[in-house]
Amino acid sequence: MAKERFPIHVEGSGDASGYAHERVLVSLERAQGFGQLKNLPCKLPVGCRRGGCGICRVRVVAGEFRADTMSRAHVSADDEREGLVLSCCIYPLSELSLRLEPAVAVKDKGQKAAKEA
């Protein structure tokens, strides 16, 4: 497998790079460790690393990626279509531009769904 490496831009925070076989969250953590995300307001939010806790939400503003299954409690099908995803569940297929997004508490997500109904 070729080790394709793509630039990953984190809006307002700095630049990273990631491999096509590597979860974007891992790429961001590596960049943070090397001091490449100098303008992060705080440490990267990391939880379960498997798409279950929702803490690592990002919006893909530009670029292509592939995704593993994500918890619908944290990322709805509409969210995913609009590029709002979990960084521990996506892999870059091209240069990416990301915006860090706050996690949504599952309870709040349910209330949001009820308001929209």
Binding site for ligand FES (CB under 6 A): 46-49, 51-56, 86, 88
Residue among 52, 54, 49, 61 at smallest CA distance from 102: 54
Nearer to ligand FES, 6 or 44 (CB): 44
Residue 39 CB, nearest approach to ligand FES (Å)? 22
**Closest distance to ligand FES from the beta carbon of 51 (Å):** 5
Per the document, the length of the chain is: 117
* Closer by beta carbon to ligand FES, 1 or else 78: 78
Q: Determine the Cα–Cα distance for residues 99 and 1; give it in Å rounded to an integer.
A: 29
User: In the complex, what is the shortest distance from the CB of residue 72 to ligand FES, in angstroms, rounded to a whole number?
Assistant: 12
If the CB atoms of residues 63 and 85 are measured against ligand FES, the closer one turns out to be 85
**Letter string b/e over residues 82-104, b meaning 16 or more CB atoms within 10 A of that residue's CB:** ebbbbbbbbbbeeebbbbbbebb
